[in-house]
Each structure stands twice: as structure tokens, then as C-alpha cells.
């Protein structure tokens, strides 16, 4: 992981995705964001917005996350989102909207470190799209969760290993270790 060229991407930490299955991720993501930000590295938040006659409505009959408070970032992360490098609004699974793709390209980031909700959908799709666009995707397994339950989270990680590589799945401790090593590295001029 090249921390010096990496951005932390916090996927859809919104009220409407937090439930008894995914609530544990709020603290894990909050801690990771705090450590990442303290190291002076950029953080991107995403927010998902559903809309009338979306594919989610048409194919799943799923009509949630169309307005506040469901679409709001969870209270524990509101301040961090306000200070983030960017907040990317999206109407699909992936981070890689045209706006986000331009942002990543212009910033010169090579590594994208993903955490958030839901592992098997928006986190996985964003990581796979990053892979296909030539970025090094990383999924922080213990700072990601599924609102559909731990079995679905595990299924998402299983598929992620096949799509982006087993070595791309890391823990918060691994990321914090990388941040610590980065912060302690001598500055080359």
C-alpha cells in the first residue's frame, strides 16, 4: 500500500444503511478516518441517493434512501465528512462516477482504501471498478459491513478475493501500521 499516494474512501456511511448488522462498522470507520486524517492523508466520503423509478425500485421494489434522515451521514462521521477532501454523491453502487474519476486522476492517487457499507455491493463494486481502472484497491475488512448480515459481508469478501486479489483485503491494524510507517518515514527532498 502506497500511503503517500492513497486516499481513504468511506462508502455510504448513511443512517439508512446502519442497522443491527452494520452498526459495529461505525466505530471502526470513525477510528480509521481519525487515524488517516491525523496522518494528513485525504479522505473521500460517498453518499448514495435512490430516486423514483431507479433500477433499485424497478428490480428490487426498494424505495429507501431517497431523503433525509436516511441519506444523511451517520452522526459520528458528520464532522469528518465536513472536513473531507470530497463528498461524492452517487445514484449507483460505485464510487467511480465521472466526478470521482476526475478527482482521483487530478489528485494523482494510485491507491484507494475502501471501508463502509455495504461490503457485498457498494464497497465491492467500487473496489472492482478501481481495479479495472488501474488503481490499487484495498478493502479494510473490519471497517466494512453489510446491512444484510455477517454472512452477506463474508460473501462480499469472498467475491472480492476473486475480483481484486486476496492480498488487497486488509485489516484496520494493517492500515494503521502503514500510516505509522509513513508518518515516521524520512522526508526526501
- The number of domains in the chain is 1
Indicate whether 187 pLDDT > 50: no
What is the model's pLDDT at position 183?
A: 79
Separation of alpha carbons 58 and 24, rounded Å = 31
C-alpha cell at 121: 455491493
Separation of alpha carbons 101 and 92, rounded Å = 14
Q: Tell me the CB-side half-sphere exposure of residue 30, using CA atoms within 13 A.
A: 13
pLDDT in tens, 24-64: 999 999 999 999 999 999 999 999 999 999 999 999 998 99
Domain of 23 in residue numbering reads as 3-184
Residues 6+ apart with CB under 8 A from 5: 108, 109, 110, 111
189: in domain: no
Distance of CA 153 to the CA centre of its chain: 14
Report percent pLDDT > 90 for the chain. 93
48: in domain: yes
Q: CATH number, domain at 103?
A: 3.40.50.850
C-alpha cell at 154: 463474508
Amino acid at each position: 500500500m502506497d500511503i503517500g499516494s492513497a486516499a481513504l474512501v468511506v462508502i455510504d456511511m448513511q443512517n439508512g444503511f446502519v442497522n443491527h448488522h452494520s452498526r459495529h462498522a461505525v466505530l471502526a470507520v470513525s477510528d480509521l478516518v481519525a487515524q488517516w486524517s491525523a496522518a494528513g492523508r485525504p479522505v473521500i466520503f460517498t453518499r448514495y441517493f435512490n430516486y423514483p423509478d431507479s433500477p433499485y425500485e424497478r428490480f428490487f421494489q426498494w424505495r429507501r434512501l431517497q431523503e433525509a434522515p436516511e441519506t444523511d451521514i451517520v452522526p459520528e462521521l458528520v464532522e469528518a465528512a465536513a472536513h473531507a477532501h470530497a463528498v461524492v454523491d452517487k445514484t449507483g453502487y460505485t464510487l467511480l462516477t465521472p466526478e470521482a474519476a476526475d478527482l482521483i486522476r487530478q489528485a494523482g492517487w494510485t491507491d484507494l482504501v475502501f471501508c463502509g457499507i455495504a461490503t457485498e455491493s457498494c464497497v465491492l463494486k467500487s473496489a472492482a471498478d478501481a481495479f479495472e481502472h488501474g488503481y490499487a484497491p484495498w478493502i479494510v475488512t473490519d471497517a466494512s459491513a453489510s446491512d444484510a448480515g455477517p454472512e452477506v459481508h463474508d460473501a462480499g469478501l469472498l467475491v472480492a478475493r476473486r475480483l481484486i486479489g486476496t492480498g488487497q483485503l486488509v485489516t484496520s491494524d494493517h492500515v494503521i501500521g502503514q500510516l505509522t510507517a509513513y508518518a515516521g518515514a524520512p522526508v526526501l527532498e
